[in-house]
């Protein structure tokens, strides 16, 4: 049963400064935690709504600002050509190694929160889907979930590090994860004991983003149901 969450903007100290985050807590706690990892559009209203949704499902959910070292508090809501160019530029300049460190810092922060049970997973979209994969290979998160993550096929050599549940939602029509990349994901991950890949053959990149050009409500419901089942099994 969904709960009415409470939310706030917070700042988390780390090496070299501090990054902002959006934190939503369920009405009743303590509860397991989920780190929500942004797309290339920053911690925008869509990412905040995902965070609120998870809090409503009974999780302490925290969306961190991955781009804070480049430009703090990016929030692109209706990307035209200029906004898309900016978003892709930020992704190109983004250092994923320090990004993973920030995710681990966010995990540690949430685990120390009185409202968190100490079990924490990650869940991300697009760039965040790739970072969720790296969450599985480089952090101590208790579960990791990636939606249409990009570039994962180039990091499959890290798959042997995975020791907690990882699920990846793969959009069959994704121009950013073409068929050869999808085939590589299956070849490299199907035999990994902690990994589950779910294919959505008719869907395109961003199919779970409400208001997006590829949004599909039925596929979103299917994917989110699978994600919630994984989180419940791993974190509760």
Look up 205 and say whether it is catalytic. yes
Q: Which of these is catalytic: 113, 142, 205, 224?
A: 205
Q: Which of these is catalytic: 174, 204, 216, 224?
A: 174
Going by C-alpha positions, the residue among 176, 177, 173, 221 that lies closest to residue 201 is 173
Q: Is the CB of residue 51 less than 8 Å from the CB of residue 9? A: no
Strand order through the sheet with 60-64: 6-14, 17-25, 60-64, 31-37, 116-125, 144-147, 166-171, 195-200
- For residues 156 and 171, what is the distance between their CA atoms, to the nearest angstrom? 18
Please enumerate in sequence order all residues whose Cβ is within 8 A of that of 143, keeping only pairs 6 or more positions apart, or say none. Answer: 121, 122, 164, 165, 166, 230, 231, 234, 235
Sequence length of the chain is: 236
Q: Is the CB of residue 148 less than 8 Å from the CB of residue 214? A: no
Quick one: DSSP state of residue 212?
Answer: S
| Structure tokens that stand for 9 in this block | 């903007």
Going by C-alpha positions, the residue among 74, 64, 71 that lies closest to residue 14 is 64
Catalytic residues: 174, 205
């Amino acid at each position: 049963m969904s709960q009415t969450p409470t939310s706030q903007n917070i700042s988390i100290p780390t090496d070299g400064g501090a990054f902002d985050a959006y934190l939503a807590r369920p009405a009743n706690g303590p509860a397991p935690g989920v780190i929500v990892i942004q797309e290339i559009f920053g911690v925008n209203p869509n990412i905040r709504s995902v965070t609120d949704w998870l809090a409503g499902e009974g999780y302490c959910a925290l969306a961190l600002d991955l781009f804070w070292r480049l430009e703090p508090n990016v929030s692109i809501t209706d990307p035209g050509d200029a906004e898309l160019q900016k978003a892709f530029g930020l992704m190109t300049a983004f250092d994923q190694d320090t990004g993973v460190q920030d995710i681990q810092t966010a995990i540690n922060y949430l685990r120390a929160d009185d409202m968190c049970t100490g079990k924490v997973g990650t869940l991300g979209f697009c760039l965040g889907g790739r970072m969720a994969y790296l969450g599985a290979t480089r952090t101590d998160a208790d579960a990791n979930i990636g939606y249409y993550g990009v570039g994962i096929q180039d990091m499959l050599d890290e798959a042997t590090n995975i020791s907690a549940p990882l699920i990846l939602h793969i959009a069959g029509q994704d121009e950013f994860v073409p068929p050869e990349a999808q085939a590589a994901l299956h070849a490299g991950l199907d035999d990994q004991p902690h990994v589950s890949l779910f294919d959505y053959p008719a869907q395109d990149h961003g199919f779970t983003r409400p208001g997006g050009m590829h949004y599909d409500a039925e596929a979103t419901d299917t994917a989110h149901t699978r994600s919630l089942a994984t989180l419940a099994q791993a974190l509760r």
